[in-house]
Amino acid sequence: MKPFTYQRVKTPQEAAEAAQKHPGAKFIAGGTNLLDLMKHQIETPPHLIDVNHTGLDKITAASDGLRIGALVRNTDLAADARVRRDYPVLSRALLAGASAQLRNKATTAGNLLQRTRCPYFYDTTKPCNKRNPGSGCSAIGGYERNLGILGVSEACIATHPSDMAVAMRVLDAQVETISPDGSQRKIPIADFHRLPGNTPHVDTNLKPGELITHVTLPRPVGGKQTYIKVRDRASYAFAAVSLAAIQLPDGRFQFALGGLAHKPWRVEAAEGKAPQAEQILAGARTTTQTAFKKTLATRLIASVLQGGKA
């Protein structure tokens, strides 16, 4: 781990201003992903800004839904009675992720911002465009089994690892932020994460110094909700394919998929009372190693449509 300076801040505004003053700085809360990346020298921030004391650790009712502080721990969010009652797909997704110990530390914002678990991203002896832009993608033509098939590019086939983000996507959450100049904005979760394109090292549409303060869920939609996660082992593993599904009271379905792309995957145009897996998975680029993912996703969608889960 390389040397760095450390700063503890008391307000979101102070955090954003500190990030502007220290180019390359990183915000730290639970540190469940960032510290590992720093130990491997994949991330080498010269300055860490501790945001744990900024008061963003509350879940509050809002006129249009539920407002979740960026520092709310995954365990607390999954256990919240309002989340379990009105947004069960989110609670189930959170409990499917990581281990209890990690969920006790991991935060809402950190979960959204965690970086890919592509093995080549973590192997500093191999070229990786996410780690070193322009160096190439070792995953393409390499060990691809648990990598992406949708929205991929010639520069990157990595997947986003978050379970929570997939549930947030099917719920149409919004990400609230504050910038160093004090301006605030709301980013629809659909626009928050990016596809790799030619800049796979840029994971989100956050601006330099911009800090996540809250995630807002819309009014409860009711209906049946579920989260299905298929993985290589029963616990403490990332999804090969996951599905967040909602069957609305009027019979329409909403689907978001994980484990397939650089961001949670959702195709609203293919949803409705008779959603088509072929449309949802259109354009999938598979290899002999990853073809099973398309088959598995199709079967998960079929299972929900047939009443097996949702």
The conformation of residue 176, written as its DSSP 8-state character, comes to: E
For the segment 168-207, what is each residue's pLDDT rounded down to a tens digit? 999 999 999 999 999 999 999 999 999 999 999 999 999 9
Q: Which helix (H) or strand (E) holds 169?
A: helix 164-170
For the segment 119-133, what is each residue's pLDDT rounded down to a tens digit? 999 999 999 999 999
Share of the chain above pLDDT 90, in %: 95
What CA–CA distance (Å, rounded) separates 220 from 218?
6
For the segment 231-245, what is each residue's pLDDT rounded down to a tens digit? 998 888 999 999 999
DSSP per-residue codes, the chain: ----EEEE-SSHHHHHHHHHHSTT-EEESS-TTHHHHHHTTS---SEEEE-TTSS---EEEETTEEEEETT-BHHHHHH-HHHHHH-HHHHHHHHTSS-HHHHHH-BHHHHHHPPP--HHHH-TTS-BTTTSTTS-BSSTTS--TTS--SS--SS-------SHHHHHHHTT-EEEEE-TTS-EEEEEHHHHB---TT-TT--B-PPTT-EEEEEEE-S---SEEEEEEE-SSSSS---SEEEEEEE-TTS-EEEEEESSSSS-B--GGG-BSS--HHHHTTT----TTTHHHHHHHHHHHHHHHTTS--
User: Among all chains, which residue has been given the structure tokens 């919240």?
Assistant: 80
For the segment 90-120, what is each residue's pLDDT rounded down to a tens digit? 999 999 999 999 999 999 999 999 999 999 9
> Is residue 63's pLDDT more than 90?
no
For the segment 145-174, what is each residue's pLDDT rounded down to a tens digit? 999 999 999 999 999 999 999 999 999 999
> Is residue 5's pLDDT more than 80?
yes
Prediction pTM value = 0.97
Exposed/middle/buried for residue 157 (C-beta within 10 Å: 0-12, 13-18, 19+): buried
User: Among all chains, which residue has been given the structure tokens 């721990």?
Assistant: 73
> Is residue 309's pLDDT more than 70?
no
Task: Output 164 or 307, whichever has higher pLDDT.
Answer: 164
Amino acid at 154: E
